[in-house]
Amino acid sequence: MAAATLLKFLAMQSIISVTNLSKRYASGFEALKRINLDIHRGEIFALLGPNGAGKTTLIGIICGILVPSAGKVTVDSHDIITDYRAARSLIGLVPQELHTDAFESVWATVSFSRGLFNKPKNPAYIEKVLRALSLWDKKDDKIMTLSGGMKRRVLIAKALSHEPQVLFLDEPTAGVDVELRKDMWQVVRDLRDSGVTIILTTHYIEEAEDMADRIGVINKGGIILVEEKAELMRKLGKKQLTLQLQQQLHALPAELSAFKLTIGEDGSTLIYNYDTKAERTGVATLLGELSRAGLRIRDLQTTQSSLEDIFVGLVSDRQ
Ligand SMILES: Nc1ncnc2c1ncn2[C@@H]1O[C@H](COP(=O)(O)OP(=O)(O)OP(=O)(O)O)[C@@H](O)[C@H]1O
Ligand SMILES: [Mg+2]
């Protein structure tokens, strides 16, 4: 097999495989309902869903913190129940809830985390991680003296301490300022470039739009969609063209009846919705017909639906 083909083949392989996974909490609440999901090696996968959808529950089970009620999960072919240690050693987890060892220093807590996975000491690696997360000048500070955003970065450093192949980030940027968020995503991109598989959840959907290779949407304990991001945007993305006319319209001219146009409230704007995936958008023909109908355009703009629009549409359809 040629090297390029082999690389592609490896990339398409799943590193995590979730089969018919269900979770019923002791309260009787069914948080996950027969989930099937494959995470590809080396990808950034964004798991999106409203509050209570089951994201943290799913991550908790894969990371061995919660016990599934039914189904099977493997991490690089290691079953998370029967081969727990091997599976867990491949995973780094940045949990949603902030809980850290308040009295320890940053350096000690991150180094200790590495030790928990029986990895030999590697101060140069820990230094690299702390520097990448802008925590180097805080390395001797006690965690209790750090701000919320810094504590979250300490959690990321801890999760990376044992050089995991898979990194789960459960809302890593909640409470982190814009500038640091950018740095954090750069760290995540660098990790992906070094071969680490990343699974993240975020309520900032533009972050998923920016970062993810694939998107999964979960709602009420069920996966409702898994798609390449580019394909999703292409399939469900809509574009809107708004035309500002020089004159007021009371009704649509007959020449334009073939187009699905709406007249804006002011009477001098026309709104045209078109499909980005259609072979012909009809925009050129529309502009031609407008001039034939004697309508003059003062200004125009187009807007494209974002992942956020798509997400809200998907989730609200299923309420
Ligand atoms: N220990 C528990 N006992 C009973 N129900 C639970 C427990 N933990 C979570 N749940 C319920 O399971 C559902 C899924 O919760 P989960 O934390 O997985 O959601 P999430 O998608 O991570 O939400 P968020 O975006 O708010 O973090 C929720 O309805 C939640 O109330
Ligand atoms: Mg959660």
Instruction: Note whether 241 and 316 are within 8 A (CB).
Output: no
How high is the pLDDT of residue 317?
64
Q: Can you give the CATH number for the domain in which 266 is found?
A: 3.30.70
Task: Mention every residue, 6+ apart, whose C-beta is less than 8 A from residue 133.
Answer: 153, 156, 157, 183, 184, 187
Q: What letter would DSSP give residue 37?
A: E
Domain count, the chain: 2
How high is the pLDDT of residue 11?
53
**Which pair of tokens denotes residue 145?**
């003296």
User: Which residues have CB under 6 Å of ligand 1?
Assistant: 25, 27, 29, 31, 49, 51-57, 96
- Ligand 1 atom index nearest CA of 23: 12
Boundary (domain end) residue, out of 189, 213, 233: 233
Helix (H) or strand (E) holding 245: strand 238-245
- Ligand 1 atom index nearest CA of 54: 18
How high is the pLDDT of residue 112?
93
312 C-alpha to ligand 1 centroid (Å): 20
How high is the pLDDT of residue 277?
67
Query: Does residue 103 belong to any structural domain of this protein?
Result: yes
Residues 120 and 257 in one domain: no
117 C-alpha to ligand 1 centroid (Å): 28
Residue to substitute in 22, 32, 55 for testing ligand 1 pocket (most ligand atoms within 8 angstroms of CB):
55
How far apart, in whole angstroms, are the C-alpha atoms of residue 204 and residue 123?
34
Query: Does residue 8 belong to any structural domain of this protein?
Result: no
Residues 171 and 274 in one domain: no
Residues 214 and 75 in one domain: yes
Boundary (domain end) residue, out of 210, 233, 256: 233
Domain of 109 in residue numbering reads as 14-233
Residues 208 and 242 in one domain: no
Residue to substitute in 30, 33, 48, 56 for testing ligand 1 pocket (most ligand atoms within 8 angstroms of CB):
56
How far apart, in whole angstroms, are the C-alpha atoms of residue 146 and residue 140?
11
Pair type for strands 44-48 and 14-24: unpaired
How high is the pLDDT of residue 306?
80
51 C-alpha to ligand 1 centroid (Å): 8
Residues 144 and 246 in one domain: no
Query: Does residue 33 belong to any structural domain of this protein?
Result: yes
Q: Among the residues of 38-147, which ranges form H helices?
A: 55-62, 84-89, 106-116, 123-132
32 C-alpha to ligand 1 centroid (Å): 10
Residues 285 and 202 in one domain: no
How high is the pLDDT of residue 6?
64
Question: Whose C-alpha lies nearest to ligand 1, atom 2?
Answer: 25
Q: What is the pLDDT of residues 270-301, one digit of tens each?
A: 999 887 666 777 888 888 888 888 889 999 99
Buried/exposed 116-151: b ≥16 CB within 10 Å, e otherwise = ebeeeeeeeebeebbebbebeebbeeebeebeebbb
Boundary (domain end) residue, out of 200, 215, 233: 233
How high is the pLDDT of residue 9?
63
- The number of angstroms, rounded, from the C-alpha of 131 to the middle of its chain's C-alpha atoms is 25
Query: Does residue 1 belong to any structural domain of this protein?
Result: no
How many other CB atoms are found less than 10 A from the CB of residue 30? 15
Residues 148 and 211 in one domain: yes
- 10 Å CB burial of residue 35 (0-12, 13-18, 19+) is buried
Query: Does residue 152 belong to any structural domain of this protein?
Result: yes
Q: Can you give the CATH number for the domain in which 57 is found?
A: 3.40.50.300
182 C-alpha to ligand 1 centroid (Å): 28
Which parts of the chain sit beneath pLDDT 70? 1-4, 6-12, 276-278, 317-319
Lookup result for tokens 């690089």: 76
Question: Whose C-alpha lies nearest to ligand 1, atom 17?
Answer: 56
